[in-house]
Structure 1
């Protein structure tokens, strides 16, 4: 039976069900920068208001120049998308093949994109027993069975595990030897940018790196993502994109976000410290196991008998708090849920609410 393709962050639908305004909900189900948008984004959007009278820049030229400067690459190594999800759905149609391997647990859109493209999807399941660590040797052996495309997210979503750059290099080599096109999704790598494998991937002959600007830069409502790869790979992707796929507001917000270097540093410092504090508070609650993570979210397993993540989600929803039930992720059972790292006082409120639910 196919796994349902669901997502977190459905605040509008939940608010309607509860008869509340979306602002009244505390959303831990979507992993968005708790510090909000970068300074200067609001002003840049306001100043660009009159630009909405015109079509967007079809080539997103200014945004690509800003991204190229940010990453130290050339503009022709970048394709900009309406969120990285647009690019995920393009890839199985742009590049030929029939069998794909997805490292799991994983973002559900990989499988949906492959399914829509007529691909066969298999999974390389990581184990919670060793905190979802990935063995390059085991993955290489599996690729030897004949896969045309590999999807892997780093840090993992929802597990939060990190594949070190040295291991990513081994995966690149394994894909080259096996003739497998590599899709490395770094949607959350901004929170540990020094671990990005962008220089490895953008020079590899059959590979693409996906990045998202919605999580780290806090603009999910604008939908903005991009791909880094060799110019010929980018050209193949761009040839299949719809015209004006990225609107003017998203382009303006992206450029302003990339210029906010102090905001980037402050975000990483805050998340690094608060994630450790939050994880410790959660781990102190009986009935919960918290997995180590490198991004702005934590995967948690319920060890107490008699409660599922779905039941916990509903109990917390009654308190106006949303968490991500992970039971529809390949490789996870009914006891896993994911929570975003938010502001300290909000995280403390979730800990208290969890304690109350488990005490009831």
Structure 2
């Protein structure tokens, strides 16, 4: 047998949200009847302009995509309010950029700081390069970052600090002042993950012209509705991006992906409508779940919400199974470090589907109570 690296032999597989096909195969439920509230997607679909652009570019699939993305970066810069040389574009969403950052900055034995519970892909990616995770603390009860725990974790081995705002899976924000405190306390790269910033309606783009150790991580998979095309982007100093670009895969952003992003950025009405409806549905879910006895829910600034099940009579595994049998996909949060087996995450759907989800959820809770 081929001998693999020791870190691979000891590695846990990343746990994504469940797909409709899994539920169809397991329970025989028609895919069209399944409510998918587990993956933080845009339930209204991609921009019609993006769909048209992808269809029209099919004739180009025999050609390599444009590699420098200059026009694409120009359009992203206009949207983000930065200069073109402060933009890098990646395939495989923002996850590809995480991998490139690790390749660029990490030597064996270096440290990186994360604040669990948070997006697990930071740790999943960086440990592959033999970097050591150092754990700061997200206070789940108050849904805020313990800033002092981050500052106390910084050492001369710290290469990267991850700050997720809105935080996944809790939906809480990290204040601008707290981010500045951390950035000014270190020369390590501070990666501020703003994948869901549109739903929060605040961002930290002003930091880029003040500090050269900040990188904002973003994606077109959420409010832009392009999760299936996997395009991400980063905003940072031109000097850092020049070094990162040296090892970035040349053709990772495909022709359909580029065309779809450009068309979506031109569709301002779509972006505004997606953002507005997402926030409305988030607040509907918050108020509706909050009214169910036995469930506690955290206020969120994203398109998902964390639900505390301690008083429900269910573990996360039990309630997700009960919901899946009824054609509902939510996220069991047991795989998130520092969350026990009594948390699930729900993401928005269209309003009729959200109404149906609430009715099913009530039935499931009442069933255990009775």
Quickly name the TM-score band, shorter chain normalised: over 0.9
The answer to whether the aligner puts 1:185 opposite 2:185 as a matched pair is: no
Aligned to 1:256: 263
Match of 1:302 in 2: 309
Which residue among 143, 153, 159 is the counterpart of 1:148? 159
User: Secondary structure of 2:337's match?
Assistant: coil
For residue 144 of structure 2, the aligned residue among 113, 133, 143 is: 133
- 2:19 matched to 1:7? no
Residue 339 in structure 1 maps to residue 354 in structure 2: no
Count of aligned residue pairs for this structure pair: 355
Structure 2 counterpart of 1:200: 207
Task: Describe the shift of the 1:21–1:226 C-alpha distance in structure 2 as closer, same or farther (beyond 3 A).
Answer: farther
2:95 aligned with 1:85: yes
Offset at residue 39 of structure 1 (A): 3.3
Distance 1:17 1:215 in 2: 28
Match of 2:358? 351
1:235 alignment partner in structure 2: 242
Q: In the alignment, is the contact (CA less than 8 A) between 1:77 and 1:202 conserved in 2?
A: no
Bigger shift: 81-90 or 303-312?
303-312
Structure 1 counterpart SS, 2:106: coil
**In the alignment, which of 80, 84, 87 is matched to residue 75 of structure 1?**
84
Equivalent residue, structure 1, for 2:124: 112
1:300-342 per-position Cα deviation (integer Å, ceiling 9, x unaligned): 0113264101111111111111000001101111011111111
Deviation larger for 117-126 or 132-141: 132-141
Cα displacement (A) at 1:60 = 2.0
Which of the residues 57, 63, 75 maps onto 1:66?
A: 75
**1:133 to 1:69, Cα distance in 2 relative to 1, 3 A:** same
Q: Answer whether contact 2:158 2:188 (CA < 8 A) is retained.
A: yes
> Against the structure 1 CA distance between its residues 24 and 274, is the aligned structure 2 distance closer, same or farther, given a 3 Å change threshold?
closer
Are the equivalent residues in 2 in contact too, given 1:101–1:151 (CA < 8 A)?
yes
TM-score relative to the length of structure 1: 0.93
1:288/1:136 CA distance change after superposition, 3 Å? same
- Structure 1: unaligned runs, 5 residues or longer: none
Q: Secondary structure at the match of 1:149?
A: strand
Q: Which residue of 1 aligns with 2:216?
A: 209
SS in 1 for 2:144: coil
Alignment of 1:22-33 (within 5 A): 22-33=31-42
Q: Choose the corresponding residue for 1:48, options 22, 33, 57.
A: 57
Question: CA offsets, 1:245-276, max 9 Å, x none?
Answer: 11011111111111121222222222223222
Q: Which consecutive residues of structure 2, in runs of 5 or more, have no partner in the other structure?
A: 1-9
After superposition, the CA RMSD in angstroms is: 1.9
Deviates more, 1:23-32 or 1:290-299: 23-32
Q: Secondary structure at the match of 2:48?
A: coil
- TM-score, reference length from structure 2: 0.90
